[in-house]
Amino acid sequence: MADLNPFAAWRRLLALPNESRTKTLAMAFLVSAACALLVSGATVVLRPIQSANRAAEQQARIEALVAGVPGMSELLAESGGTLSSVIIDLNKARAATEVTPETLEAALADMANWTALAPGEDLAGLGSRPDYAQVFLLRGGEGISLMLLPISGAGYNGRIDAILALRGDMQTIAGLAITGQSETPGLGARIEEPAWLSSFGGVRTMDARGDLRFAVAKGPAASEYEVDGITGATRTSSAMTRMIRFWLGPQGYGPLIEAVRRGEF
């Protein structure tokens, strides 16, 4: 009867000559298995740390964005110095009841919580839009004085991520922060330059009829609805226009913005 003792089998394996194909294959398999276990374990252990780092990085950008908006630091100080956070159900234009900031990442890992976009709807070139988004609010008096909205879209070289801040009238941009981009250095990557980002403050997004008018101009801005274009980066400028228009429109935060303007949020 064969000896089923694993220690005995291990000793027999080690006793084989180093030139043995069996020993070589067995040792290679064992080393690969051990490495796989180590990598998997490290991924599990580091995932919370990585998530915390991403959250801290986003919070730092949000704080920098708010600090750069004239008068916002004072408003924050008066209200206790913090923004409130809420998860929005974009399909219902209201606060989500089943998803929290702690469970948002897990919820968005499920593709059932994404909405496919038809080509005519997909101004931002996303393909699909998340059903939930975390927004940040500053309340002043009886209403919202500042709302920060995460937005994203396809740029010339890849995805662009940003945070758009709207003033309480929900028609005026308070500021913009780029949180991720891979555009061409010296050209499209200039969307991160403070001088260009500062030009967004005070720009109107829609006219008196409620029609979206925002645009990155092809040259110098010619109206209250435009910001200056970036020389030599026409495609990136167009991508920024489409991205912001998409998220302010009916497939993005448009219904939420209307609810806030009606005093329902």
Q: Cα separation of 35 and 38, whole Å?
A: 5
Q: Where are the domains of the chain?
A: 6-48, 68-261
Gap between the Cα atoms of 197 and 6, Å rounded: 66
* Exposed e or buried b per residue across 21-43, where buried means at least 16 C-beta atoms within 10 angstroms of its C-beta: eebeeeeeeeeeeeeeeeeeeee
pLDDT at res. 129: 96
| Backbone region of residue 86 per phi and psi (left: phi > 0; alpha: psi in -120 to 50; beta: other values) | beta
The string of DSSP letters for 22-79 reads HHHHHHHHHHHHHHHHHHHHHHHHHHHHHHHHHHHHHHHHHHHHHHTSTTHHHHHHHT
Q: For the segment 245-264, what is each residue's pLDDT rounded down to a tens digit?
A: 999 999 999 999 999 988 88
pLDDT at 58: 64
Q: What are phi and psi of 136, to 5 degrees?
A: -125, 135
Helix or strand holding residue 20 (H, E):
none
pLDDT, tens digit only, all 265 positions of the chain: 455 566 677 677 777 787 777 878 887 888 888 888 877 776 666 666 666 676 667 667 666 666 665 555 665 665 555 678 899 999 999 999 999 988 998 999 999 999 999 999 999 999 999 999 999 888 776 778 888 899 999 999 999 999 898 988 999 998 888 888 999 998 999 999 989 998 998 999 999 888 999 999 999 999 999 999 998 999 999 999 999 999 999 999 999 999 998 888 7
Write down the pTM of the prediction.
0.74
For residues 14 and 110, what is the distance between their CA atoms, to the nearest angstrom?
46
Q: How confident is the model at residue 98, as a pLDDT?
A: 92
The pLDDT score that the predictor gives to residue 1 is 47
Burial 149-177 (b: 16+ CB within 10 A, else e): bbbbbbbbbebbbbbbbbbbebbbbbbbb
